[in-house]
């Protein structure tokens, strides 16, 4: 009997990467995984959602869907009021960012 994949496994990373192949990069090349790489390079592994969106060069709809997906997978957390929301990379998100950049 098989259960759901562990969220901290390489299998989960591969499944997520496969799902996100359907998300097309913007003309600037922003993808779901690029959000993780941006956060991994940010001070304290966090950034305001407004600044993250600007750094990603993604359209609003793509960005919102990517942010939601990454949060549901446990790769980042969101905190603060809607106008001052901050995205923070989790330990798992940092591991995935490192894997996706290789």
Domains of the chain: 10-100 (1.10.10.10)
pLDDT tens digits along 7-21: 556 666 666 666 555
pLDDT tens digits along 32-76: 889 999 999 999 999 999 999 999 999 999 999 999 999 999 999
According to the model, what pLDDT value does residue 9 have? Answer: 64
- Is 83 or 75 the better-scoring residue by pLDDT? 75
CA distance 7 to 75: 9
Q: Would the pTM count as exceeding 0.75?
A: no
According to the model, what pLDDT value does residue 99 have? Answer: 84
According to the model, what pLDDT value does residue 40 have? Answer: 94
Checking DSSP bridges between strand 76-79 and strand 86-89, what pairing results, if any? antiparallel
CA distance 13 to 54: 25
According to the model, what pLDDT value does residue 17 have? Answer: 63
């Amino acid at each position: 009997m098989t259960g759901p994949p562990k969220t901290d496994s390489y299998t989960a990373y591969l499944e997520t990467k496969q799902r996100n192949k359907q998300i097309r990069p913007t003309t600037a090349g922003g993808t779901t995984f690029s959000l993780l790489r941006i956060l991994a390079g940010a001070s304290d592994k966090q950034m305001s959602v407004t600044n993250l969106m600007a750094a990603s060069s993604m359209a609003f709809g793509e960005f919102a869907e990517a942010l939601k997906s990454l949060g549901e997978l446990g790769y980042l957390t969101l905190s603060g009021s809607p106008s001052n929301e901050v995205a923070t990379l989790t330990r798992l998100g940092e591991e995935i960012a490192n894997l996706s950049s290789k």
